[in-house]
Structure formats: structure tokens, C-alpha cells
Amino acid sequence: MGFGGDARLQRHLDGTEHEDHITLIKLRRGEQLTKQDFEELGRILIDQGVADDAVLSALDEEGGVGRFLRSLTGLDKAATKEAFSLFVSRYQLSADQMEFLDMVIDSLTESGFVDPTTFYESPFTDLDDMGIAGIFDREQTKEIIQIVRSLNEVVAA
């Protein structure tokens, strides 16, 4: 999902002008966004001159402005680790399990969301040919996927 203003918008979002914007902070931290937040994100795109109503409509068809902006900002690493902290504290995880979780956290930090179906593809199958199913038991796999889905859903309009 992209358009010509991606790189320019990325520079604006990373700049000091927006680093303390409450809506962008919520987006980076994986906090639930409200309708007002989504409207504010759209306003930011328009104010930066990288979008108009037609572009916002196109973004809505491709997952929404929240998902688009999250793909540019990624998730805050500390917030992402916090989302998995209860899971990690409940289990005695092996080195491979911790490495798998670190890969999930890194992916979320970089791209802002992860499709759980990729847990059965490379690089996740580099640790085990079966991906997540070869590393974790069934219940743990369900928990990890639920955590990832909850982080992904935060940006759904």
C-alpha cells in the first residue's frame, strides 16, 4: 500500500514536528485508536500535502489510514515487548522459542503489523520447518497469534 508521498511523509513523521503528537504516539505504542484518532491521522496526511480525500478513500479500501501510517512508523519496541510480557512470564521458554518471539517483535517493530500466516514461512521456518507450530505447543501458538492479531486490530478502521 503506497503512494508517491511515502518517503516524504516518513520524514515528516520521524521529524520533531510530529514525534509528540498524541495520536501518532498511540499508533506507535499499539494503543486502541478511536474514530477521532483516525480522523486526525487523515488530517495529518492532508496537512503534509501527501494526500487528499481521494487518496484517503483509496487507503480505506486497503486497510485504512491507521494501517498505512503504522506501516511507516512501525511499533514501539518497548510497547511490543510489553504486549508479550505476560506470555513470556508464564512459560519457561527455550532459546528457540525466545528467538522466534524476538523475530515476531522485530517484525512488528519494523513494519507495524504482521500477518500470522507468515509464521509458517521464512524467516520463521528457519528455526523449524513447521514454523510456529514446530516451536510452540498448540495453546502457546494460539496465544501468540492472538497477541499479534490484537496489535494488528488496533489500526483497523
- 95 and 41 together in one domain: no
Q: List Cα–Cα distances, 150 to 32, 114, 116, in angstroms.
A: 9, 11, 11
| In-domain check, residue 52 | yes
- 54 and 84 together in one domain: no
| Poorest-pLDDT segment among 3-7, 90-94, 115-119 | 3-7
Burial of 86 (0-12, 13-18, 19+ CB in 10 A): exposed
- 27 and 85 together in one domain: no
Of the residues 73, 95, 120, the one at which a domain ends: 73
C-alpha–C-alpha distance, residues 52 and 42, integer Å: 9
- 63 and 83 together in one domain: no
pLDDT digits (tens, 9 = 90+) for 107-129: 999 988 899 999 999 999 999 99
**C-alpha cell, 78:** 518497548
| In-domain check, residue 1 | no
- 54 and 95 together in one domain: no
pLDDT digits (tens, 9 = 90+) for 13-47: 555 455 678 888 888 888 888 889 888 888 888 88
- 68 and 87 together in one domain: no
Q: How many CB atoms lie within 10 A of CB 149?
A: 14
- 90 and 125 together in one domain: yes
Using alpha carbons, select from 32, 65, 68, 1 the residue that is nearest to residue 153.
Answer: 32
Structural domains in the chain (count): 2
Structural domain boundaries enclosing 97: 77-153
- 106 and 140 together in one domain: yes
